[in-house]
Copies of this chain bind each other. A is one copy, B any other.
Amino acid sequence: MRHRYFRSEPGPQPLRQVVERTVRFEEVDPLGIVWHGRYPSYFEDARLALCNRIGIGYRDCYAAGVATPIKQIHVDYSKPLHFEETFTIEAILHWCDAARINMEYLLRNREGEVTTTGYTVQLLTDPHQQLPLLVVPPFMETFRNRWKTGEIA
């Protein structure tokens, strides 16, 4: 795989989710391509879809008294996207032993070309985002066990 932002840790295979989106008029800049600052929104669409599917979405975290603030985002732009172009966003969750969420993203246009890649790093914290959790909270531990056993894939 060409794009690899995270050091590999021993653990189960990454979890993946693909969502589709079409470029809106408001997302396109005067040069006719998507403004670079819209991509965090694109990443978020796939991240939330993946997190909701595997039980660690906003509501799951909120119910558990855990927040997951973004500590780092990175985007590499290879090819532009244009008005009304339909593209896919793939979020790829990598295994990580620590109390953090490491996710990678690949955007592909209709021709299947990778237009954009990137990653986010999220910490697990108290609900006020003040204190990083030192141990992985129970609901996240449950999720990780189901990931390890292959119950979630």
* Residues of A near any B CB (own CB < 8 A): 24-26, 28-33, 35-37, 40-41, 44-45, 48, 58-59, 67, 69-77, 80, 83-84, 129
Contacts and interface: CB of A to CB of B under 8 A. Distances in A.
How many of these chains are in the complex?
4
B44 A37 contact: yes
Contact of A30 (B25, B70, B76): B25
Contacts of A76: 71-72
A73 B44 CA distance: 16
Contacts of A71: 76-77
Contacts of A28: 29-30
Given A25-B58, A33-B129, 18 more contacts: A24-B41, A24-B44, A25-B44, A26-B41, A26-B44, A28-B29, A29-B30, A31-B67, A31-B129, A37-B40, A37-B41, A37-B44, A58-B83, A70-B77, A71-B76, A71-B77, A72-B74, A72-B76
B30 A40 contact: no
A28 to B, nearest CB: 5
Nearest to A42: B37
11 contacts: A25-B30, A28-B30, A30-B30, A36-B70, A37-B37, A37-B40, A37-B44, A71-B76, A73-B73, A73-B74, A80-B129
